[in-house]
Amino acid sequence: MLKTKGKIAIASLTLALSVAATGAAADDVAPELVSSRILTAIDTTPPDYPRYADAMGMDGFAVLEFTVLESGEVAAPAIRSSSSSVFSKAALAAVEDWTFEPVYQNGIAVPV
pLDDT at residue 29 in the model:
41
Give ∠ CA 56-59-64 in degrees, rounded to 5: 125
Give the integer Cα–Cα distance in Å for 44 and 12: 12
pLDDT attached to residue 33? 64
Mean pLDDT of all residues in 81-109 = 95
The predicted model gives 43-68 an average pLDDT of: 94
Q: List phi, psi (to 5°) of 79.
A: -80, 125
Nearest in space to 91 (alpha carbons), one of 45, 39, 40, 52: 45
Average pLDDT over residues 77-100: 96
CA dihedral 90→96→98→101, nearest 10 degrees, is 150
- Split at pLDDT 50, 70, 90, the class of 9 is low
27 confidence band (pLDDT: 50, 70, 90)? very low
pTM recorded for the entire structure: 0.69
Q: How many CB atoms lie within 10 A of CB 56?
A: 10
